[in-house]
Structure 1
Amino acid sequence: MYSVSTADYLQADSFSQLGERAILMDQSKSCQCELLAVKKAVRMKKVCVSRELQKRAEQIYATDIEYVYSERFEHAVASDDILHPLQKLCADLNPDSDYELSEFDFQQAQLYTVPLLEKEQEVILFRGMNYLKFRAETLKSQIDLKSPCIGLLDRIEQKLKDARRLRNYIIQANLRLVVSIAKNLTDRANLFEDLVSDGHLPLIRAVEIFDVERGNRFSTYGTWAVRNFLFRTTKKGRKYRKTFLNGAETLALGMSDSRSTQRSHEAYHQTIDDVLQKVLQTLDAREQLILKRRFGLAKSDTPEKFREIAEDLGVSTERVRQLTIRSLQRMREAIEEQKLEIPDIPEII
């Protein structure tokens, strides 16, 4: 059975106690409050389990729990390594009020009530969110639909609820991301409030599928998700997609502009180079040559003008420019298709 302490935490259900509640519930054993009565009733051939309880068990059992798996979830000390840091962080954050998606008003100052997350905080929250879902999925496999245990169902539901609250906190901490992108795409046909509302959807999805174990910041992944979605739905965005303002050029410029700090950021450059080589392979030889010369991607090269490249290839300057745009677009599509992630350049340099 649950202890009095566990019941108190279930009743309080505060964000600041989320981590401590998760630890306590992870250590609890399945409740046996219903099992003896159920078994006795079965022997007596009586319907002992209420239809409501059975329906609840069936709904939980049928729930598709999506999470980003990590091998560390399987470790014997996973609970200590993941939930104890979460306990401390939740107590430190302790927001004044919990964030509810349905009640969110994009025009209000509460956009900024949750501070930006530091990298370490981000890792703890994402890891905790996915671990709670993982544990809920594990417990779900223990449900006996013929004689469901109320205590077990409570534990699963509480873990999913806490995971959802962690997700919502992360979303609120990153809403500035949506606002910054939406401001640049506002026009007569696309009001700022509408764009922020539209950008909210890909942000939620990005939080749900982001793999923090890869070592990247969520701002990088979230920016791509929101920007790509809004670029497809707005006139200004479609215009940007046809010009140099895309991820592929950012990648190329990142290579050339960051070269001055290569020695102090070797890991960063290696990551960029690995991604670049993968997407360059999707282009033909001439397209690769143009991009390498245009952005000075070879280690000893400096960026060249369209005119210089055109003279050597024997084509017009405009043709080189068109090939560059087309190649960058193909690189961008390759990045999306292969789900490659690029480190946040401003943060590293």
Structure 2
Amino acid sequence: MEDHTEETVHTEEQNSSLSTIGSYLEGIGKTPLLTKEEERELAKRIKEGKQKLIQLMRGSSDIINKNRELLVLFQKGGKLSKNFGDLDRNPDKVREMVDFLEHELPKMEKIASDRDKRKIKQILKEAVKVKSSCEADRKKMMEANLRLVVSFAKKYIGRGVSLSDLIQEGNIGLSRAVDKFDYECEKRFSTYASWWIRQALSRTIADQSRTIRLPVHIAYLLRKLSRVSRQLEQKLKREPTPEEIAEQVDFSPEKIRQMLGISQTTVSIDKPVGEEKNSSMIEFVSNTSIPPPVYKLAVDMLKEGVRELLEKVVKDPRELEILKLRFDLEEKGDYSLRQIGKEYGVSRERIRQIQERALKRLRAPAEERGLRGYLELLNSLRAEMQESYTE
């Protein structure tokens, strides 16, 4: 009952996530794309708006620098630069300064002279208007290109980051492209933005790859073991032994010991370790390109499940042995039809016929469903391991 509840909750969470992404994709699909002329016009207005804001903020700095108390107020807020040269390279800082001026206006009115107050209010009023217009143009440029982000994000699925997170990071790259795009260049914005989006996605995948984490199915098994262990502890009034747990979950005691020795905690390999914190986890990982032992354990468990299922369905010893060799269930590697033919002293074609006959026996609905679940997990793990080796 508890297993069923947990699976139901997990399914509901997945459905909710898919529904949210589906609604998002439906929404952005309704936004019309921009023509080249529309892109250039928006980019021109954004650039001119940014330059106008920089000019206004520099004007406000002249007033602020003359008043020591205003200067202290801005320096405390960390919003004042000694020279405003970096504003050209950092549009976010310009927008932050406008927000800061607006927020701190009541304090400035108490400090500044009447003349300075009038000037600051005038500057701020114009700056808020320009910023609002600039943000509306940025929003239009962003929304018209959100589908571009999704198209790139989909290419990175299966790399350890959810689609929603990939889209979010890709949108950050798109935002940077909007700020950097030069309307006078001949490129279409989509061509220019592609580089920024890919950079954001690649950086996210790279950050993710520097984390050691457990596969989802192994984490699920650990939760199941933990639940069974708690139930036995309540029943026995003591901590259960691996043998007692093994009886409840149909695993060997040795596998239970292995599973209980695996931590579910995600650990950054850059995390400082040691009393003086002068070393990092990565120094103690001999080769980060080699998959962690948990993959080997998971593959062994899945292979064992597949072997047991085959042995129940395939009664002919030769057919059974051929399937085990073909699908690497005997820890000897994947044998080709030709290699197996040599083992049995028959042709490659004869082995293929025997294999097909054996596979037909697995096509009965019940056996097929059970075997498919095992093989999908096994193939998923193999893909993860292969990816770990190639990264």
**What TM-score, normalized to structure 1?**
0.35
**Relative contact order (C-alpha < 8 Å, sep 6+): which is higher?**
1
Q: TM-score w.r.t. structure 2 length?
A: 0.32
Radius of gyration: which is bigger? 2
Q: Which has the higher helix share?
A: 2
